[in-house]
Structure 1
Amino acid sequence: MSNISVSRSFRPLLLLFVITTALFITSRARFARWNVDADVLIIGNLVLFAAAAVSFYLFSRSWNSRNPQAILRTVYGGMFSKMMICLIAVIIYLSIVGKGFNKAGIIGCMFLYVLYTTLEVVILMKLSKQKKNV
């Protein structure tokens, strides 16, 4: 499996990022009525996309390895790094904003985390099946 195929597989994550960011920007008034800070969602979406990109980069580096455990370690390492990046982002947000944090925005970002992680796992499973068939 080539790196081109891995980079093509990243497109659904890019599409998810573009669609959700456009939704957050165009629906600011609606989110405000629901007491959700759209800026928190936009920044959270950006952090999650960057974390998914790092995870995918790590995965693509190990893709040509003959050792299946190395690929599995990289996938788990990518997910762990994504979790740590998100945890650090939340800590930074809470330290900047203090008690006036937007709970609904953080819950929305948690939902985005689940979306990104689910999509990433589905993509990695498809890539794994393609590698078996090659």
Structure 2
Amino acid sequence: MTNNSVFRAFRPLMVIFIATTALLITNRARLSQWDADVDVLIIGNLVLFAATALSFYLFTRQLNSKNAQAVVRTVYGGVLSKMVVCLLTVFVYISVAGKGVNKAGVFGCMFLYMLYTTFEVIAVMKLSKQKKNV
């Protein structure tokens, strides 16, 4: 598996991060009308991207393994670790914000979590198929 194919598989996740951040910054006023805290969404987007990048990195390291179960465990472990990081981030946010928790921001981050996870699994499956065909 070449670095170029790994980068190509990770590119949609980078596009999602950049596009989402740009949309959040440019639509700050509209999101504020919907009671969504843009700062919460931007920080959530950054945490999700970092967790997804870590999960993707762990998968690509395991991709050359001869053991198919190890690859599957890595994918599940990556998704689970991303979920734990996100839950910890939400708990920290709730404890810091107290009664001022922005529910729209938290739900927006949940949507972003599903978006990142979906595209990460698609990229991982494409890389897995490429390796199988090599």
Instruction: Establish whether TM, by shorter chain, passes 0.5.
Output: yes
Task: Provide the residue aligned with 1:66 in structure 2.
Answer: 66
Name stretches of at least 5 consecutive residues in structure 1 with no aligned partner: none
> 2:42 maps to which residue?
42
Deviations 1:14-59 (A, max 9, x none): 1100000000011000000011001110000000000001101101
Number of corresponding residues: 134
1:111 maps to which residue? 111
Q: TM-score, normalised by structure 2?
A: 0.96
Partners of 2:5 and 2:108 in 1: CA distance: 31
Whole-angstrom CA distance in 1 between matches of 2:41 and 2:29: 13
- Structure 1 position 8, deviation (Å): 2.3
Once residues 38 and 20 of structure 1 are traced to their aligned partners in structure 2, the CA distance between those partners, rounded to angstroms, is 11
Query: How much identity, in percent, do the aligned residues show?
Result: 66
Alignment TM-score, normalising by the size of structure 1: 0.96
Aligned position for 2:30: 30
Counterpart AA for 1:100:
G
Which residue in the other structure is 2:98 paired with? 98
* Amino acid in the other structure paired with 2:86: C
Contact 1:94 1:101 in 2 (8 A): yes
Deviation at 1:126, TM superposition (A): 1.2
